[in-house]
C-alpha cells in the first residue's frame, strides 16, 4: 500500500520537534555504523583532510592523504612545505593551488597562535585560513568529541525535504536544526544525514520507495515510490 507523505502544513513546534527526533532515531537504526568517511589518526590529519574534501569526494581524498600524511607529520612540517611538492601530491583533489595555500596558511597560523596544536574551540578554528564552520564542526565532532552540526550539501538538502527549516544559509540551518535535536546527537545526526543523502535521498532522484523515513517525509514521492524501481537507485560506499 502506498505510504502517505507527512504534511507539515500547520504543524506545531512540538509536532515538528517530535517528527525530527523520530527521523533521527530511525536514521540511527538504519545507519548504526555511520561515521566520518575521511581517514585520519589525529586532529591535524582530519583538519587537512577536511580542507581537501571541498568540492571533492571522500574516496578521492582518502587516496591522496596516505602520501601526504607520510610526508608531513606536524603543523611545522606543513608550514614549511615546498608548495610545488604539496600541489603535486594533492592535485587530483581539484583546486589544488587554493587548497595548498589554505593548508600551508592554516599550519603557519597553528604554529604562530596555538603552539602547533589544533585548537578545540570553534571560535579558534574558524579564524584559521581555509577553515569555516563546516570544517570546524567536522574536526570538533570527530577529533575532539565536541558536538557539532556539519551542514554540507546533503545535510542541507535533507533538512529542506524533511521540512525542518526553510533556511538556506548554512549557519541558520545549523542553529535551526540544533534547536530540534538534543546537542549530544548533533555529530551523529550529521553523519546519519550525510549517509542517507549519499545512499538513498539523492539530489536528483531519491529512492523514496525504500526510504526508512518515508512516512515522516513531506517530500515523499519526489523519487519513485515503487520498491522495485527505488531499490535500483540505492548506492553503497565508498563514494567516487
- From the list 152, 172, 183, 229, the catalytic residue is 152
User: Catalytic pick from 99, 134, 169, 172?
Assistant: 134
CB atoms closer than 10 angstroms to residue 12: 8
> Which segments of the chain does DSSP mark as H helices, in order?
13-30, 43-52, 58-71, 75-79, 83-90, 96-113, 122-125, 133-139, 153-161, 170-178, 186-199, 227-230
First to last CA, the chain: 35
The dihedral through the CA atoms of 52, 71, 76, 39 has a sign that is positive
Active site residue 152: yes
Q: Is 232 labeled as catalytic in the residue annotation?
A: no
What length does the chain have? 240
Indicate which residues carry an active-site annotation: 134, 152
Amino acid at each position: 500500500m502506498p505510504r502517505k507523505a507527512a504534511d507539515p502544513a500547520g504543524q506545531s513546534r512540538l509536532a515538528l520537534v517530535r517528527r525530527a527526533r523520530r527521523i533521527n532515531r530511525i536514521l540511527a537504526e538504519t545507519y548504526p555504523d555511520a561515521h566520518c568517511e575521511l581517514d585520519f589518526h589525529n586532529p591535524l590529519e582530519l583538519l587537512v583532510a577536511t580542507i581537501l574534501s571541498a568540492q571533492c569526494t571522500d574516496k578521492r581524498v582518502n587516496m591522496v592523504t596516505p602520501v601526504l600524511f607520510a610526508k608531513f607529520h606536524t603543523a611545522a612540517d606543513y608550514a614549511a612545505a615546498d608548495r610545488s611538492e604539496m600541489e603535486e601530491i594533492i592535485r587530483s583533489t581539484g583546486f589544488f593551488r587554493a587548497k595548498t595555500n589554505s593548508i600551508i596558511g592554516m599550519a603557519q597560523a597553528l604554529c604562530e597562535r596555538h603552539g602547533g596544536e589544533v585548537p578545540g574551540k570553534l571560535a579558534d578554528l574558524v579564524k584559521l585560513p581555509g577553515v569555516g564552520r563546516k570544517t570546524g564542526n567536522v574536526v570538533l565532532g570527530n577529533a575532539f568529541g565536541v558536538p557539532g552540526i556539519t551542514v554540507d550539501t546533503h545535510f542541507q538538502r535533507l533538512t529542506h525535504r524533511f521540512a525542518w527549516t526553510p533556511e538556506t544559509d548554512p549557519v541558520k540551518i545549523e542553529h535551526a536544526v540544533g534547536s530540534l535535536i538534543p546537542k549530544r546527537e548533533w555529530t551523529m545526526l550529521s553523519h546519519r544525514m550525510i549517509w542517507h543523502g549519499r545512499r538513498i535521498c539523492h539530489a536528483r532522484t531519491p529512492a523514496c520507495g525504500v526510504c526508512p523515513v518515508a512516512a515522516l517525509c513531506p517530500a515523499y514521492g519526489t523519487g519513485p515510490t515503487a520498491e522495485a524501481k527505488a531499490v535500483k537507485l540505492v548506492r553503497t560506499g565508498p563514494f567516487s
